[in-house]
Structure 1
Amino acid sequence: MSQSKIKTIIVDDEPLARAGLRIRLEKFDDVEVVVECQNGLDAVSMISQHRPDLVFLDIQMPGLNGFQVINKLKELKQPIPMIIFVTAYDSYAIKAFDVHALDYLLKPADDERLSTAISKVREYFSTQNQDEQSRKLVNLVAELTGDDCEEILRKLANGEAVETNPYPDVLAIKDGSEVTRVNVADIQWIDAAGDYMCVHALDGMHIMRKTMKELEQELNPQLFVRVHRSAIANIRYVKKLVSHISGEYHLILSNDTELKVSRSHRDKVKAAMKM
């Protein structure tokens, strides 16, 4: 590494995401962005050509994803620079450690989190102690998974997946070039509108393109219960279950939203409410 500059490459298929990160990096006098790449293939080529010290690498990209970029560099016997993975998905954060990433950022990256990541990069280059850095990463993963360090090392060495909580704390909802992170705990209910899901949260409604079945599998079944074919409710926001003379049941949420409970889901809803 140059004594004064950390030579850096930004890799992301979204132009606005690249621009936003580049602007944020301008405040760091010792970080020099030498090139930007819009896909994994370009990244492999530019990393081989420029030999950067640091790469901000998006994981979800068409063609080669972020992990495949690392594997391709290894195949080509190219030096692997320090990697900070950039992702909209919490589940990818743990997987980043499989290729010894220094750190990761969740989109959209905030200034404080970025400053912390750059500080870690500086510390790494000042000590050049890769073994110690790897040990810190292993310890962090152990804290997140509950496994001991030796078990994590064994899994990494054998290429096994490091398991984490299967139910995310945050839903990353993509709308064009923007990604909104919605706290799962803030979601009150979800209903279907054609090919889209309307996610009703405390901060308003968000639209995401996903099937009801896919979304149901991502959410903790102890908190989220399917009430009928096109709706899921967060049981924490249910105020009461009302039965009508017609035999129909309705859930009343804390904000007075009323959701019909279908006959096929009635027993599951009652069980969720401990009735």
Structure 2
Amino acid sequence: MMTALIVDDEPFARRELRRTLEPSKDIQILGECGNAIDALTRIHVDKPDVVFLDIQMPQITGIEMLGMLDPQTMPQIVFLTAYDEYAVRAFEKNAFDYLLKPVTADRLELTLERLRNSFFRQDFSVLPEANHLRQIPCFSQNSVIFVKASDVEFVEARSTGIYVSDTDGQERPTALRLNILQQRTGLLRCHRQYLVNIDLVHKLQYLESGLAEFVTQRGRVIPISRRLLPEIKERLGIS
């Protein structure tokens, strides 16, 4: 039994897709979401096997939402789109599955057969919108809070998870790993446990041990690893 989530901002489109899916006895529809914010929460909590994802949604597009999911735990994605020649060419070139709206039963069955027979890791790195996070999703019990990447002071990895600290001193957990945040934001890796927003750094100060640390504009001290120090100094133009 595959579990599925439908994500589309058009209620009629959601109802029609649900109606077309319901005759399939091996698909359990967990629910529907009308926007990416609700969808991220449901994916985080319910962990569906497949998400039928509309591309054009307000505030956060479907492709932007992909960048907020960890590739290691990401469900299979089937894109939903009205006819868009450019989008269809891009999906076919990269072997992404997609359904043109309105979805027909015959075309949906081809997609379901593919899902039944070949679960594979999808590589969305070719989609620019999925590789640049403007906002970082931070999860609480039943909600998601978006922190603008420009407002992030630093990110810290602890034994209990990954925590995002902002310019107001608020600290929130995120499901994204440090390396994903490093790849998809402008945050600088300065230590195996830390990323820092270099735009919010007040100074780099040296320690007697030969190590160094950043001091943020808010006075937080962020360690710099010995291994990364030469690379950081080069990036900052420090001789």
Bin the TM-score by the shorter chain: 0.5 to 0.7
Please report how far the alpha carbon of residue 179 of structure 1 lies from its aligned counterpart in structure 2 after TM superposition: 0.7
Are 1:213 and 2:179 an aligned pair?
yes
Are 1:249 and 2:212 an aligned pair?
yes
Q: Is the 1:88–1:172 Cα contact (8 Å) retained in structure 2?
A: no
- Which residues of structure 1 form unaligned runs of 5+? 1-10, 14-20, 26-30, 49-54, 71-82, 102-133, 139-149
Distance 1:62 1:84 in 2: 21
Q: Residues 145-201 of structure 1, C-alpha deviation per residue, up to 9 Å, x if partnerless?
A: xxxxx6544224556456224121111122221111111111111112213112111
Q: Is the 1:241–1:249 Cα contact (8 Å) retained in structure 2?
A: yes
Correspondent of 2:154 among 177, 189, 204: 189
Distance 2:20 2:158 in 1: 38
Correspondent of 1:100 among 72, 81, 86: 81
Are 1:164 and 2:128 an aligned pair?
yes
Q: 1:44 to 1:253 in 2, by over 3 A?
A: same
Q: Is the 1:241–1:252 Cα contact (8 Å) retained in structure 2?
A: yes
Are 1:259 and 2:222 an aligned pair?
yes
For residue 90 of structure 1, what is the aligned residue in structure 2?
Answer: 64
Correspondent of 1:154 among 57, 76, 89: 89
Are 1:268 and 2:231 an aligned pair?
yes
Q: Secondary structure at the match of 2:137?
A: strand
Give the RMSD, CA atoms, in angstroms: 4.4
Distance 1:41 1:62 in 2: 18
Q: 1:90 to 1:258 in 2, by over 3 A?
A: same
Q: Is the 1:252–1:259 Cα contact (8 Å) retained in structure 2?
A: yes
For residue 238 of structure 1, what is the aligned residue in structure 2?
Answer: 201
Please report how far the alpha carbon of residue 237 of structure 1 lies from its aligned counterpart in structure 2 after TM superposition: 0.8
Between 1 and 2, higher relative CO (CA 8 Å, sep ≥ 6) is seen in 2
Flag the structure with higher helix content: 1
Q: Is the 1:243–1:249 Cα contact (8 Å) retained in structure 2?
A: yes
Q: Secondary structure at the match of 1:177?
A: coil
| TM-score of the two chains, using structure 2 as the length reference | 0.56
Larger radius of gyration between Structure 1 and Structure 2: 1
Q: 1:197 to 1:42 in 2, by over 3 A?
A: farther
Distance 2:128 2:207 in 1: 43
For residue 180 of structure 1, what is the aligned residue in structure 2?
Answer: 145
Please report how far the alpha carbon of residue 246 of structure 1 lies from its aligned counterpart in structure 2 after TM superposition: 3.1
Distance 1:210 1:157 in 2: 28
Please report how far the alpha carbon of residue 210 of structure 1 lies from its aligned counterpart in structure 2 after TM superposition: 4.3
Correspondent of 2:47 among 62, 77, 80: 62
Q: 1:153 to 1:207 in 2, by over 3 A?
A: closer
- Which residues of structure 2 form unaligned runs of 5+? 26-31, 68-76, 97-125
Distance 1:89 1:66 in 2: 12
Q: Residues 19-72 of structure 1, C-alpha deviation per residue, up to 9 Å, x if partnerless?
A: xx9xxx9xxxxx89x99xxxx999932899xxxxxx74647353442229x9xx
For residue 131 of structure 1, what is the aligned residue in structure 2?
Answer: none
Q: Is the 2:181–2:187 Cα contact (8 Å) retained in structure 1?
A: no
1:4-15 to 2 correspondences below 5 Å: none
Question: May I ask how many residue pairs the two structures share in their alignment?
Answer: 176
Distance 1:155 1:88 in 2: 15
Q: Secondary structure at the match of 2:163?
A: strand
Q: Is the 2:51–2:78 Cα contact (8 Å) retained in structure 1?
A: no
For residue 112 of structure 1, what is the aligned residue in structure 2?
Answer: none
Distance 1:151 1:43 in 2: 26
Distance 1:156 1:88 in 2: 14
| TM-score of the two chains, using structure 1 as the length reference | 0.50
